[in-house]
Amino acid sequence: MLDAAHALFEDVGYEAATIRSIAKRAGVSVGSVFSSFTSKAHVLSEVMQERLSDLYADLASAAPHLKGSTADRCRSLFAVHYAFEYRRLRLFLAYVSAAFDWAAGEGGRAFGANPHLRGMVRDCLESGVANGDVRPDVDIDLVVDMLIGAYAWNYRLATVADATPAQLIDLFDRQVDVIFQGLRPVQQRQGLPRAG
């Protein structure tokens, strides 16, 4: 069913795809789609998870070896996402749209709640605390929200201004600068010169 849904979303777009057409393509009844998923948004969130699973398998093995400051490693994680999601921009936008949709139902995992992405950003911040790049009293959950939020919001520039992935990455780099500058341990912010 997920393969059928994925192919259909690619062909006709998320809005035009119906549960009925997903069922038809998968060769199952509408009822059996509904016995596995609570809504179309739920199907989409599962498709997006599956699409990303290969990417995350690669990233998970690469993440511990990323070089540079905590901010640099964080930038690398998101740059990979920009490059990957931009290839299927419309589908990704539908996913973000569904993230604000209360009708997505219990089963749907809205964008921003992706445990892989959250986990990797969280690990990155925790290692930043451990090596003194990030101040120890940081509210990690809040900062993860800020970073993922900034990452996703930047896509609006792709919808109205046709921004390229490189432009999105540039903007995100500036935002990461501000956030990590704001997270520096107090003595670093006052005394030592800024790195880079």
Partner 1 sequence: MNQMAIAPLKAVAPVTRPNQRALAKQRTREKILTAATLLFSEHGYDGATIRDIAKAAGMSTGAVFASFADKSDLFGEIVAAESKALEQEMLAALDSHGRGCAILAMLDAAAVRHMADLALFQATMSALWTPGLGAQVRRRLLQRSATRLIAEALKSLPGVESSDTDDKNVIAEMIWDGYVGVLRRAALESLTLDQVRGRLAREVGVIVAGSRRN
Specify the DSSP element, H or E, that contains 13.
Answer: none
Q: How many CB atoms lie within 10 A of CB 41?
A: 23
20 binds partner 1 (CB under 8 A): no
User: CB of residue 62 vs partner 1: minimum separation in angstroms?
Assistant: 27
Phi, psi of 144 (to 5 degrees): -60, -45
Q: Which stretch binds partner 1 (CB under 8 A): 10-18, 27-35, 42-50, 55-63?
A: 10-18
Looking up tokens 């509210």 gives: 139
Residues 115 and 95: their CA atoms lie apart, in Å, by: 15
103 binds partner 1 (CB under 8 A): yes
179 binds partner 1 (CB under 8 A): yes
Looking up tokens 């809005």 gives: 15
From 7, 30, 110, 129, residue interacting with partner 1 (rule: CB under 8 A): 110
Question: Segment 130-169, which members bind partner 1 (CB under 8 A)?
Answer: 139, 142-143, 145-146, 149-150, 153, 156, 159-160
102 binds partner 1 (CB under 8 A): yes
Whole-number Cα distances in Å, 135 to 128, 171, 179:
8, 24, 12
Residues in the interface with partner 1 (CB under 8 A) total 39
User: CB of residue 160 vs partner 1: minimum separation in angstroms?
Assistant: 6
For partner 1, what does the binding mask look like between residues 33 and 72, x meaning CB under 8 A?
----------------------------------------
Residues 44 and 17: their CA atoms lie apart, in Å, by: 11
CA 53 to chain centre: 12
- Look at residue 19 and give its three-state secondary structure: helix
181 binds partner 1 (CB under 8 A): yes
End-to-end, the C-alpha distance of the chain in Å comes to: 49
Binding footprint of partner 1 on the chain (CB under 8 A):
13-15, 90, 93-94, 96-103, 110, 112, 139, 142-143, 145-146, 149-150, 153, 156, 159-160, 171, 174-175, 177-183, 189-190
